[in-house]
C-alpha cells in the first residue's frame, strides 16, 4: 500500500480488482470491490443493493446509506458500467432466488463474511504485505475525494494568481 497513508490508493484498488479476476467469481468480485471504492460503500450497503437500484441507461445507482447517511443517486463511471454489465451477464447463469444485485453461487444474498473472504483472497493474490479490511475501501474513497478536492482548490488558487 501507499507509504504516506494507511489506506489503499487507486493503484492498490486496481491491483485488487485485477486479482479478483483470478478468483472463482471474477465478475462479481471485481465489480463489488470497484463499487465499494468508488462510492464509499459500507459492507451492509453494498450487500443490500438490488437490481432496481441500478439504472444503466441513466448511468446511475441509488444508494441507501446506513447510519443516518444521506441516500441518493450516484453517477456510474465508464469502467464501472462495463464491470456491472459483465456481472449482470454472468449473474444470469446463477440460480437466482432473490432481487439482490450481488448473489452467491447458490443464488443467495452475499453475506458480510463472504465479502471479508473475497477481500482477503484478493489481497493474497495481489501479494499485499498487509491485509486490507473491507472498511478501508470506504475510507480510501474519502481519502481520494479529499485529494481531488485539494487539487481543485490549488488549481483555483493558481488561476487567480495568474490573472
Quick: pLDDT tens for 91-130.
999 998 899 999 999 999 999 999 999 999 999 999 998 8
* pLDDT exceeds 70 at position 3: no
Going by C-alpha positions, the residue among 62, 46, 66 that lies closest to residue 109 is 46
Strands 60-63 and 72-75: antiparallel
pLDDT digits (tens, 9 = 90+) for 50-84: 999 999 999 999 999 998 888 999 999 999 999 99
The residue behind cell 453461487 is 105
Model pTM score: 0.83
φ/ψ (deg, to 5) at 37: -70, -45
Amino acid at each position: 500500500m501507499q507509504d504516506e497513508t494507511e489506506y489503499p490508493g487507486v493503484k492498490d484498488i486496481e491491483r485488487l480488482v485485477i486479482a479478483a479476476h483470478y478468483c472463482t467469481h471474477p465478475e462479481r468480485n471485481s465489480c463489488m470491490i470497484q463499487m465499494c471504492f468508488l462510492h464509499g460503500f459500507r459492507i451492509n450497503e453494498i450487500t443490500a443493493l438490488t437490481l432496481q437500484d441500478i439504472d444503466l441507461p441513466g448511468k446511475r445507482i441509488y444508494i441507501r446509506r446506513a447510519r443516518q447517511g444521506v441516500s441518493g443517486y450516484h453517477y456510474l463511471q465508464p469502467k464501472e458500467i462495463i464491470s456491472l454489465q459483465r456481472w449482470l451477464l454472468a449473474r444470469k447463469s446463477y440460480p437466482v432466488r432473490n432481487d439482490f444485485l450481488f448473489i452467491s453461487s447458490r443464488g443467495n444474498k452475499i453475506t458480510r463474511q463472504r465479502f471479508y473472504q473475497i477481500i482477503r483472497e484478493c489481497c493474497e493474490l495481489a501479494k499485499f504485505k498487509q491485509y486490507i479490511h473491507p472498511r478501508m475501501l470506504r475510507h480510501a474513497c474519502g481519502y481520494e475525494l479529499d485529494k481531488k478536492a485539494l487539487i481543485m482548490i490549488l488549481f483555483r488558487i493558481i488561476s487567480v494568481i495568474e490573472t
